Chains A and B, each alone.
Chain A
């Protein structure tokens, strides 16, 4: 549904997006991850037809975002980061306005339908300026849904919401992901992990990782340090773990013993479990230390920095 090929966007001398390539499939929520200023919003604006790419192509629902901008826009629902709304209009009037511009035949029942969907039916007649931040976010989402688009592009929809609202919104996005193509940007990585079927990690205009969050985790968990806790004296446990095959070293940490694998592609957990069970100690916890996307992100960025120190480092720095 979304295919991006070598997409480049330059603002004068500054290159915001440096030739990224990725795709998003229908029936999936694709997470677009990255710190602020990574190029997420720029990419999304290109995908919605708001601005043209400097080079490269992007196709949404089979249409080129530049050549068939209107066709693309017809099939995309977009929630912009700042959730811009007309504050002097009521929620229903606003949705009817957008619906009418989109050419919806009966905008009023449709607006009520969408408001119902986002749980705002009771405030349909309220002016938007009187609504809370969370409600406005929902009006914005309703706006993106009004024409039931096959593709939804949501730019940081959970920003500034309270925890309960965040949970509800994530649930809604997950639901929508079942029969829509959803591209969902966030800089909160646990959120992507929770909601997304696929993540694309972007930093400084470049994609640094992409894939299923579980696959990503698995590939990174290999070689990750392992935390081991058991009903045993810390010193004895450390000695035991250090002696397990595939473990390079082990230290006593805050919550237990931390084991460092011998090589990056080894997962020594099963061996450690076996060793502990053999001692008849009660194993209370064993997990890789890098298991969430924050860690993945940090890890990948760290590795990238290490690569940059390698011979071509000067070139890589110049590009950013």
Chain B
């Protein structure tokens, strides 16, 4: 505060023009660009693409030698979807936990913006980052196009599915970021939740093998993520309920996150 003294002019106090605010869009822009300014996001992209690349390379090498493996356009999206249990918590752990710990949440929550807008902006940013990552994996499909005949419809289905799947997973892991200020705890709980939802299909078979009654096994299975992607969307079957499952997961998770942020701040 030594260089410039504060100005005491009054010219600042004119009426400031305001228009229709789209706070979620502003929050989205900031958070989205923050991902591309953060080395962490590049680190995640590097690790994911390297992992996918090595496996994909192995897959096409094997397929080329065996001479009887048709091109499978769901290979990369399927793998990416599996990795989401690691990616999503890393993307979302800081989103709310950091704001909460740094106190910036207090400023944001005194702005004329509903919590939902703030949560939505944050979510869209993380989903946007995932979308970019997913688009990068289209390169695997392009390679398959040059060396085989992948089914374009099935590819579209599996990329669409992976995109929705990612949205749902990101929304769910965001809940934990709102619950705890500790990013590590948020990431750990997020990963555990997603892994459980990923493995629900296996749990369902186990429950069924234990002689459970009625549709409990089916219920568990349909609660899980894979039942709506692995056998249907990723193979090119577009079912209304699968799309709704992911959309509803996003809606419910964002709603819960908003509620938690609200309650936490009111009991601060």
Chain A contacts to B: CB under 8 angstroms:
11-12, 45, 48-52, 70-71, 73-74, 76, 78, 80, 82, 84-89, 97-98, 100-106, 110, 113-114, 116-123, 132, 134-135, 138, 143, 145-148, 161-162, 164-165, 168-169, 171-172, 175, 179
Closest Cβ of chain B to A92, distance in Å, is 13
What is the bound-complex CA distance between A222 and B4, given in angstroms?
A: 44
Residues on A with beta carbons closer than 8 Å to the beta carbon of B268: 45, 50-51
Residue of B nearest to A11 (CB): B267
A262 to B108, CA, bound (A): 56
B112 touches A138 (CB 8 A): no
- Quick check: A73 and B37 within 8 Å, CB to CB? no
Asked if B150 is at the interface of the complex by the 8 Å CB criterion, the answer is no
Q: Nearest CB to that of A168 among chain B residues? A: B6
- Expressed in whole angstroms, the Cα–Cα distance for A122 and B13 within the complex equals 20
Residue positions of B touching A, CB distance < 8 A: 1-9, 11-21, 23, 26-27, 30, 34, 37, 102-114, 265-268
A80 touches B7 (CB 8 A): no
Given contacts A52-B266, A101-B23, A175-B8, A148 and B110 within 8 Å (CB-CB):
no
CB distance from A164 to the nearest CB of B (A): 7
If A51-B265, A106-B17, A168-B1 touch, whether A143 touches B107 (CB-CB below 8 Å) is yes
Evaluate contact between A116 and B7: CB separation under 8 angstroms.
Answer: yes
Check B6–A138 contact: CB distance below 8 A.
yes
Whether B110 contacts A50 by the Cβ 8 Å rule is yes
The 6 closest A-B pairs by CB, nearest first: A103-B21, A84-B103, A134-B1, A119-B6, A48-B110, A100-B26
Q: Is the CB of B12 within 8 A of A113?
A: yes
Contact residues in B for A100 (Cβ distance below 8 Å): 21, 23, 26
**A100: nearest residue on chain B (CB-CB)?**
B26
B116 smallest CB distance to A (angstroms): 12
Number of A-B residue pairs with CB-CB distance less than 8 Å in the complex they form: 131
Cβ of A148 and Cβ of B14 under 8 Å apart? yes
Given known A74-B112, A85-B104, A132-B1, contact A145–B30 (CB-CB < 8 A): no
Distance of A147 Cα from B1 Cα, bound (Å) = 23
Task: Pick the residue among B21, B30, B104 that contacts A102 (CB under 8 A).
Answer: B21
- Which of the residues A103, A123, A145 comes within 8 Å of B18, measured between beta carbons? A103
Residue of A nearest to B19 (CB): A105
B241 to chain A, nearest CB (A): 37
Q: Which residue from chain A places its CB closest to the CB of B109 in the assembled complex?
A: A50
**Given contact pairs A80-B106, A82-B103, A119-B4, A102 touches B18 in the complex (Cβ within 8 A):** yes
> Given the complex of chains A and B, what is the CA–CA distance between A162 and B27 in angstroms?
34
When chains A and B are docked, how far (Å) is the Cα of A62 from the Cα of B107?
22
Of the candidates A103, A117, A135, the one whose C-beta lies within 8 Å of that of B112 is: A103
**Distance (Å) between the CB of A244 and the closest chain B CB?**
47
Chain B residues with CB under 8 Å of A168's CB are: 1, 5-6
Set of chain B residues within 8 Å of A97, measured between Cβ atoms? 26, 30
Cβ–Cβ contact B12 & A84, under 8 A? no
In the assembly, what is the distance between CA of A70 and CA of B18, in Å?
Answer: 14
B107 touches A119 (CB 8 A): no
Query: What are the residues of chain B within 8 A of A146 when measuring CB–CB?
Result: 16
Closest B residue, CB atoms, query A87: B102
Chain B hits for A165, CB < 8 A:
1
Once the chains bind, are A70 and B17 in contact (CB under 8 Å)?
Answer: no
Distance of A146 Cα from B12 Cα, bound (Å): 9
